[in-house]
Structures are given as structure tokens and as C-alpha cells.
Amino acid sequence: MRDFFSFPNPVNDKAARTVASVVLVGVIVTLVSGWYWLLIPITYGFWARVLTGPKLSPLGWLAMNVIAPRLGEKKYVSGPPKRFAQALGTVMSSLALLFGLILGDHTAADVVLVMFIPAAGLESIFGYCLGCKAFAILMRLGLIPEEVCAECADISGRLGLARS
């Protein structure tokens, strides 16, 4: 059961960027159309990915197993920062769902959704993960222990250098 509730480490960055692209499109469509029901699959996807990686996320599975392999050689990045970014997306999408569908406060939902645009846009277009940067800052501040992501603290392995 523990393995079921796990997140891949490392993560194929091409799959992560594919997921971010679909999230970006979904958020923009929601904002433009007012179809707040789209927050249901968006929020479900974040919950599924943060809890189980791509196992329960149709989008995550499709990105990892179908789309990313067609985009060329895998580009691996550390899993824990990506999971942290998914957790931030889970909080944000849950808030947007709460405001937009449950409380009917579309203005509050729109404010939360607008915050997705730079995050998902930077990730999908440029491969720049805002959640991962926040994770790194929290590690530097000592709020996330180094053991959570040893490879995040030492990038020499990714650079092909021996650790001294």
C-alpha cells in the first residue's frame, strides 16, 4: 500500500511539462467560459498526482506513458520538488473549486485561477517550476529537511561530477 501512495523519483520533466500544459489550458478555458465544473477534473487530477503520482491520474498516466515518450529522450528531475509543486496546485485548485462551485464566489475562484497562469505557463513553456523554487527556498531555510531530497541539495550527480 505504501508503494501505491508514492510519487516517482526522478520525474520525467517532459511529462511534468505536458501536465502543466493541460492544466494551463483548463484554467484558461475555465476563466474565459465560466465553466467552473472544469475545476472538478482539474482538482481531482492534482489530488491524484500528489497522492499517487500518475497511478490514479489519467492525465499524469497519459503524459508519462504516451505523450512524453513521443517528445524524445527523457529529461529527469528530482521528484520531491515536483510533488511539492503538485501539492501547491492541489491547495489552489481545491480553493478555486470551493469558491467557484460550492460557495458560488466566482471572483474569488477567478483570483485563485489567475495565479495558475504564471505557474503553469512557466512550467509548460519554459520548464521553470515555481513550486520547485519555493521547495528549494524552504530547504535552504531548514523548513524541509535535507533528507527529503538529498539530490536537491547536491546537484553534482546531475552534472556528472563525483561528490567529494
- pLDDT of residue 95 exceeding 70, the answer is yes
Average pLDDT, the chain: 91
Whether 157 maps to a domain, the answer reads: no
What pLDDT is attached to residue 151? Answer: 66
- 34-75 tens-digit pLDDT: 999 999 999 999 999 999 999 999 999 999 999 999 999 999
First-last CA distance in the chain: 37
Please check whether residue 135 lies inside any domain of the structure: no
Residue 153: pLDDT over 60 = no
Could you tell me the residue range of the domain that residue 109 belongs to? 11-128
Q: Is residue 78 one of the residues assigned to a domain?
A: yes
C-alpha separations of 38 from 29, 63, 106, 110, 116 in Å: 8, 19, 13, 13, 14
Domains: count for the chain: 1
Alpha-carbon gap, residue 85 to 115, rounded angstroms: 13
Which pLDDT does position 163 carry in this prediction?
40
